[in-house]
Copies of this chain bind each other. A is one copy, B any other.
Amino acid sequence: MKTMTLVAEKPASAERRTRGNRRSPTAKPVGVPYIVRNIPTYDILSEENLVKIEQTADRILAEVGIEFRDDPVAIQHWKRAGAKVDGLKVTFEPGMLREIVSSAPRQFTQYARNPANNVEIGGKSVVFAPSYGSPFVMDLDKGRRYGTLEDFQNLIKLAQSSPWLHHSGGTICEPVDVPVNKRHLDMVYSHIKYSDRPFMGSVTAEDRAEESIEMARILFGADFVDRNCVILGNVNVNSPLVWDGTMTNALRAYARANQAAVIVPFILGGAMGPVTNAGAIAQAFAETLAGCALTQLERKGAPVIFGNFLSSMSLRSGSPTFGTPEPAIGSMVIGQLARRLGLPLRCAGNFSNSKLPDGQAMQEGLMSMLSAIHCGANFILHSAGFLDGLLSMSYEKFVMDTDLCGALHSYLAGVVVDDNTLAMDAFLEVGPGSHFLGSAHTMRNYTTAFWDSALSDNEPYEKWSEEGGSTDIATRANRLWKKTLAEYEAPALDEGVDEALCDYVARKKGERADAWY
């Protein structure tokens, strides 16, 4: 089958393939644990221009420096490594950080509790994970409101039900009804309980990071966790050129446990970075490189992911804009730089400023998402659900995006050239002026030939309007997420593990008073 070319060394289990088939009304490609890309990356800049950007990053690191706030251990790491420390400000000789990150793996496996769902991060692999971090959720019935733990679990269930996502993500929405200092316990437990894919832990405080990892130890065993990556933590630079202690403490907690930190600047061009793309890219490279290096100083050889988040700004209102052309094209350059550095890449996912799952949402979302595909991103956080800038997860957009992720499986399969696909036998059989519908070649290949969306309308106009109820895709998405939640079945979880996790969560919750900020 065509789609089996997407399967990596560890093919999907029979169970998984069956599930994929059951969810698809026709024989469209089945789910795979992750994608192995069969198209090259889209490299838009010359070697000469890449070097200019790297040299600018080197100058930023050497002449401007980065502040590391509220983390004396990080400062000590830098001193020992030979960086120049002046109060909180650290400057770096050109080449020093590159040398330090060279100990990080180019590729690693993140393990899932279902081994069929293990993902490779790095090289030619592409992993889709849901969006992350919205305080609000929205749907067409109830509009926008703060997210709750129920929403959090619903969105995990929708993710788990899609054959086109590979990862359960992390803060799929903020469960605002749970105290801030206990939220991570419910979030990690929900990922483990309602999904059997890899997941992410908390980074909002060092103890929350450590407790997230501890729950992973309960699930996988402490020794296994010390040797293998089972949880990711996504940490943000406080751009421009500041690393806050909250983030570096979490970053170091993940590295210390041999788990992968995802190191992500957050640059809105014109605000947290220069208004020109080349400069914003140089800054992003400098900030990310410093974070990646810090993981190696905490624990040499720990896995780490080079992250990217470029965005732009409306010149009319000063609002951040998402899914616009400049970040899309800039991300291609970030991809080139990450490959030159030899680190796995996380890149821009599916963003839009639209408040509805409308044309703007899908246009902006796809421009951003295809950029991540083309730039060679290995881990695409924010693959599904975002609307409203980064502020809301939309139930409809979530299933529209997972359907798009399915289409991107076919896209990344590229154009296969072999005797079968070249179809010379079909031309000899059919000849001029006939059709290929019943040819032996078509019969042999049609079940795997084309992506078949579960949401797009491809009917003639009359059928769409008379039988189909003249629906738009958002309306069809509204029906699909409800149907999917109604049909959801949780993957089996060992009862002893479940109990141990529940005990741990209850104990940790009992140790502290509720905090709401």
Of the listed stretches A102-110, A162-170, A413-421, name the one at the interface; the rest are far from the partner chain. A413-421
Complex partner residue of A426 from B26, B274, B366, CB under 8 angstroms: B274
Complex partner residue of A417 from B53, B315, B451, CB under 8 angstroms: B53
Which residues from 116 to 137 on chain A have a C-beta closer than 8 Å to any C-beta of chain B?
Answer: none
Q: Are B242 and A279 in contact (CB under 8 A)?
A: no
Shortest Cβ distance from A227 into chain B, in angstroms?
37
Which residues from 458 to 483 on chain A have a C-beta closer than 8 Å to any C-beta of chain B?
Answer: 458-461, 464-465, 470, 472-474
Cα separation A42 to B365 with both chains bound (whole Å): 21
Q: Are A326 and B42 in contact (CB under 8 A)?
A: no
Q: Are B44 and A275 in contact (CB under 8 A)?
A: no
Shortest Cβ distance from A3 into chain B, in angstroms?
12
Shortest Cβ distance from A173 into chain B, in angstroms?
15
Q: Are A450 and B278 in contact (CB under 8 A)?
A: no
Q: Are A456 and B277 in contact (CB under 8 A)?
A: no
Chain B residues closer than 8 Å to A277, beta-carbon distance = 415-416, 421
Check if A270 is an interface residue, CB within 8 A of chain B. yes
Chain B residues closer than 8 Å to A294, beta-carbon distance = none
Check if A176 is an interface residue, CB within 8 A of chain B. no
Chain B residues closer than 8 Å to A407, beta-carbon distance = 324-325, 367
Complex partner residue of A326 from B362, B418, B451, CB under 8 angstroms: B451
**Given A432-B64, A473-B354: A278 and B324 interface contact (C-beta under 8 Å):** no
Q: Are A473 and B358 in contact (CB under 8 A)?
A: yes
- Of chain B, the residue at the smallest CB distance from A316 is B26
Which residues from 221 to 254 on chain A have a C-beta closer than 8 Å to any C-beta of chain B?
Answer: 238, 240-242
Size category of the A interface is 35 or more
Which residues from 410 to 464 on chain A have a C-beta closer than 8 Å to any C-beta of chain B?
Answer: 410-411, 413-418, 420-424, 426-428, 430-437, 439, 441-442, 445-447, 449-453, 455-461, 464
Check if A328 is an interface residue, CB within 8 A of chain B. yes
Shortest Cβ distance from A419 into chain B, in angstroms?
9
Cα separation A326 to B416 with both chains bound (whole Å): 11
**Given A329-B414, A450-B269: A240 and B25 interface contact (C-beta under 8 Å):** no
Complex partner residue of A415 from B320, B329, B359, CB under 8 angstroms: B329
Check if A376 is an interface residue, CB within 8 A of chain B. no
Shortest Cβ distance from A421 into chain B, in angstroms?
4
Q: Are A422 and B56 in contact (CB under 8 A)?
A: yes
**Mask of A286-323 contacts with B, CB within 8 angstroms, 1/0:** 00000000000000000000000000111111011100
**Given A270-B437, A271-B435, A363-B363: A450 and B312 interface contact (C-beta under 8 Å):** yes
Q: Are A270 and B446 in contact (CB under 8 A)?
A: yes
Check if A284 is an interface residue, CB within 8 A of chain B. no
Check if A341 is an interface residue, CB within 8 A of chain B. no
Check if A355 is an interface residue, CB within 8 A of chain B. yes
Shortest Cβ distance from A38 into chain B, in angstroms?
9
Complex partner residue of A330 from B270, B279, B415, B431, CB under 8 angstroms: B415
**Mask of A79-96 contacts with B, CB within 8 angstroms, 1/0:** 000000000010000000
Check if A76 is an interface residue, CB within 8 A of chain B. no
Shortest Cβ distance from A245 into chain B, in angstroms?
13
**Given A276-B445, A279-B422: A315 and B26 interface contact (C-beta under 8 Å):** yes
Chain B residues closer than 8 Å to A203, beta-carbon distance = none
Check if A265 is an interface residue, CB within 8 A of chain B. no
Known: A278-B421, A279-B421, A321-B450; 4 extra A-B contacts, CB below 8 A, are A64-B432, A324-B410, A362-B362, A388-B461
Q: Could you show 16 A-B contacts with beta carbons less than 8 Å apart?
A: A45-B417, A53-B422, A59-B427, A63-B427, A64-B428, A275-B436, A275-B449, A277-B415, A278-B415, A314-B452, A326-B449, A354-B456, A355-B464, A356-B472, A359-B400, A363-B404
